[in-house]
A and B are shown apart, each in its own frame.
Chain A
Amino acid sequence: MEGDIVEMGKFIGAGLATMGMGGAAIGVGSIVGNYLSGALRNPSAASGQIAMLFIGVAFAEALGIFSFLVALLLMFAV
């Protein structure tokens, strides 16, 4: 049982930060799901919205990546 309480806090914090991944997953899933249901209703308009789909996915995913960044900072920078 070596190590100190700061080390423990780092690991717990990094583990907690991974929960942000769940939020990003919800966001991306919601975007793609809604895109798909819209595309099935009106397939002719679907191909024009691919760019918007990727922009939305990128924005939702960026926030998940931020939580990954927080975990990395806790593990290696703090």
Chain B
Amino acid sequence: MSAEAETGGLEFYPMDQFLIKPLFGGDTINWYTPTNVTLWMGIAVLAIILLLVVGTRRRAIVPSRTQSISELAYGLVYSMIEDVTGKEGLKYFPYIMTLFVFILFSNFLGMLPMSFATTSHIAVTVVLAMMVFVSVTLLGFYKHGLKFLGLFWVSSAPLALRPVLALIEIISYFVRPVSHSIRLAGNVMAGHAVIKVFAAFAGNLLIAPLAILGIVAMLGMEVLVSFIQAYVFTILTCVYLKDALHPSH
């Protein structure tokens, strides 16, 4: 009993920040209920429109700050697709650019204090990953017909090994959307939970300076992770797209 009384001063709930709440009161959440996820996704879309449409309205040879940032994002995704898939992947540039900018803005807006990290929810990232998975699979069958199944038949391996390799390839193909979505959600969720744990330690006066230093360091780390995860999600989409465009091993 005495041990409970001693540890009772330090209570923390690192997962409470991920609770989905309806915006206008009430407890039931239907598919049409506006929640804090809806709000922050809307803010992300608005911010993207502000940067990419309003920010580049006055186009100039010497770009303004917003124009050069949007040009940087555009050039990054463009060269990424060109490097990984080659010229024929550039047809799918709008979709991949949308994915990149949406994930990047959701991650960065989730870093704001009192905001809500929408990409920390597996429900959100699974939709993004499944859209990529389904569309890439359909594209592969549309472009190559049944030859797309050659993706699983490693023709450079010895004949006896090929069925085993085909099994492994098929399993790894279907694990793709799982790892694709959980990587993003897990990284964002873990980072935010760690920050909240440090924030709980700041309640104790003795270790508060150390805890605040830890929060600052973790926030800096999280800004980096936010960008890298958006980059990784996009580049993996490019890799999957490359498999659909050139399925033969």
Contacts and interface: CB of A to CB of B under 8 A. Distances in A.
Contacts of B183: 58, 61-62, 65
B80 A51 contact: yes
Given A51-B83, A68-B190, A76-B15, A62 B235 contact: no
B236 A55 contact: yes
A41 B61 CA distance: 39
Contacts of A57: 232
Given A65-B187, A68-B190, A55 B182 contact: no
A58 B239 CA distance: 12
Interface in A6-58: 51, 54-55, 57-58
Band of interface residues on A = 10 to 19
A51 B186 contact: no
A54 B187 contact: no
A66 B181 CA distance: 11
The 5 tightest CB contacts between A and B, nearest first, are: A65-B186, A58-B232, A62-B179, A62-B183, A68-B186
25 contacts: A51-B80, A51-B83, A51-B84, A51-B235, A54-B228, A54-B231, A54-B232, A55-B235, A55-B239, A57-B232, A58-B232, A58-B235, A58-B236, A59-B179, A62-B183, A65-B182, A65-B186, A65-B187, A66-B179, A66-B182, A66-B186, A68-B186, A68-B190, A69-B186, A76-B15
Interface of B: 15, 80, 83-84, 179, 182-183, 186-187, 190, 228, 231-232, 235-236, 239
Interface of A: 51, 54-55, 57-59, 61-62, 65-66, 68-69, 76
